[in-house]
């Protein structure tokens, strides 16, 4: 959506969400000679949202973000996730805060293809306060589903972040805002079907199916004031972002867990895990899974 005008505070109401979920099922846009043909064009970083005057994005190896000083967290984090990048090669231990989890916006598991990308996913600029039930539950399920989509479709573009507004509660000496809602938008810009989908989820635990939180990309733009996928041709963007086709996406998650190659039992290597301090474990192991006895080696 082009030229989004934000004239006041974003207010999320019950009525808004009723309208948000009242959509008609659409079919995907195939690469044919039909009326709604979408022929992909070569794009550079299509996942990066439009920047307003004076805004400057921060680039890391695995993702790009726009930091919001007022709320002490990113307004958005964007990255491309390919099928090959779901094959995890590096890992670090999870950690949680007191009361709220330090929720990753770009998931550490999506950055396992590079040691540097993995390390940078633990920067505080990639963190946002999330309730444990949300971070370890439905939000984690959505992250796993998106990795499954990257495998299924070859590559997806992901933008994620908190819904920021004035008046949010805060934690810590730096007054880090605690968002009430989080969003994700995902673009599959590949043959045979071009499609996009958005999610808006409350920062609390939920047992609902992920498809219940699916919305149009336009809906996410309306409540965040962010223009997603601005590098798409205008005609493509208008079609993709206004429609929602829930049945066009595969909702059964695939197993994307990386299985390391079996190592020789006669060769000892450094443990692949990390300590609580964030440093590489120095123990040697000959376990097939690459972990020492303390980190679950066989």
Residues 230 and 279 in one domain: no
- Do 116 and 235 lie in one domain? The reply is yes
Q: Is residue 124 part of a domain?
A: yes
Same domain for 183 and 96: yes
Burial of 53 (0-12, 13-18, 19+ CB in 10 A): exposed
**pLDDT mean by block of 10 residues, the chain; 298 residues:** 46 40 42 48 77 86 88 88 66 46 87 82 87 94 93 92 94 88 94 89 95 96 94 89 92 60 50 67 70 65
- Domain hosting 283: range is 265-297
8-state DSSP, 223: H
The reported pLDDT for the residue numbered 168 is 95
Number of structural domains (the chain) is 2
Ramachandran sector of residue 72 (left: φ over 0; alpha: ψ -120 to 50; beta: rest): left
Task: Look at strands 181-189 and 155-162 and give their pairing.
Answer: antiparallel
The pLDDT of residue 91 is 41
Known catalytic residue: 71?
no
Read off the DSSP letter of residue 279: P
Q: Residues 222, 282: one domain?
A: no
Q: Are residues 196 and 236 in the same domain?
A: yes
Q: Is residue 252 in a domain?
A: no
Q: Are residues 164 and 283 in the same domain?
A: no
Domain-located, residue 38: no
Q: Is residue 174 part of a domain?
A: yes
Can you give the CATH number for the domain in which 69 is found?
3.40.570.10
Q: Are residues 147 and 279 in the same domain?
A: no
Same domain for 98 and 147, yes or no, is yes
Q: Is residue 153 part of a domain?
A: yes
Same domain, 81 and 174: yes
- The closest of 245, 238, 220 to 20, measured between CA atoms, is 220
Inside any domain, residue 3: no
DSSP state of 189: E
Long-range pairs of 114-118 with CB within 8 A, sequence gap ≥ 24: 114/61, 114/62, 114/89, 114/90, 115/89, 115/90, 116/61, 116/62, 117/60, 117/61, 117/62, 117/63, 118/62, 118/90, 118/91, 118/92
Q: Is residue 220 part of a domain?
A: yes
- From CA 124, how far away is CA 55, in angstroms rounded? 19
If asked whether residues 269 and 241 sit together in one domain, one would say no
Are residue 193 and residue 290 in the same domain, yes or no?
A: no
Catalytic residue among 60, 104, 236, 295: 104
In a domain, 18, yes or no: no
Indicate the helix (H) or strand (E) that contains 182: strand 181-189
- Residues 64, 170 share a domain: yes
């Amino acid at each position: 959506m082009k030229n989004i005008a934000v004239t006041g505070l974003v207010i999320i109401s019950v009525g808004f969400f009723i309208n948000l979920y009242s959509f008609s099922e659409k079919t995907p846009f195939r690469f044919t000679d039909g009326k709604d043909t979408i022929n992909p064009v070569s794009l550079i970083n299509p996942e990066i949202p439009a920047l307003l005057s004076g805004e400057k994005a921060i680039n890391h190896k695995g993702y790009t973000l726009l930091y919001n000083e007022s709320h002490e967290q990113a307004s958005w984090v964007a990255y491309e996730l390919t099928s090959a990048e779901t094959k995890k090669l590096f890992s670090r231990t999870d950690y949680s805060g007191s009361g709220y989890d330090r929720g990753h916006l770009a998931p550490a598991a999506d950055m396992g293809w590079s040691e540097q990308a993995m390390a940078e996913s633990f920067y505080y600029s990639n963190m946002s306060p999330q309730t444990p039930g949300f971070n370890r539950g439905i939000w984690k399920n959505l992250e796993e589903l998106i990795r499954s989509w990257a495998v299924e479709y070859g590559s997806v573009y992901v933008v994620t972040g908190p819904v920021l507004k004035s008046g949010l509660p805060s934690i810590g000496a730096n007054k880090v805002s605690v968002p009430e809602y989080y969003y994700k938008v995902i673009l599959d810009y590949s043959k045979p079907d071009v499609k996009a989908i958005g999610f808006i989820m409350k920062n609390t635990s939920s047992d609902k199916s992920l498809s219940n939180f699916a919305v149009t990309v336009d809906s996410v733009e309306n409540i965040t004031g962010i223009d997603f996928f601005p590098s798409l041709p205008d005609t493509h963007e208008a079609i993709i972002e206004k429609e929602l086709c829930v049945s066009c996406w595969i909702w059964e998650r695939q197993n994307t867990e990386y299985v390391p190659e079996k190592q020789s039992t006669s060769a000892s290597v450094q443990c692949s895990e990390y300590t609580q301090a964030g440093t590489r474990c120095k123990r040697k192991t000959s376990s097939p899974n690459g972990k020492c006895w303390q980190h679950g080696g066989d």
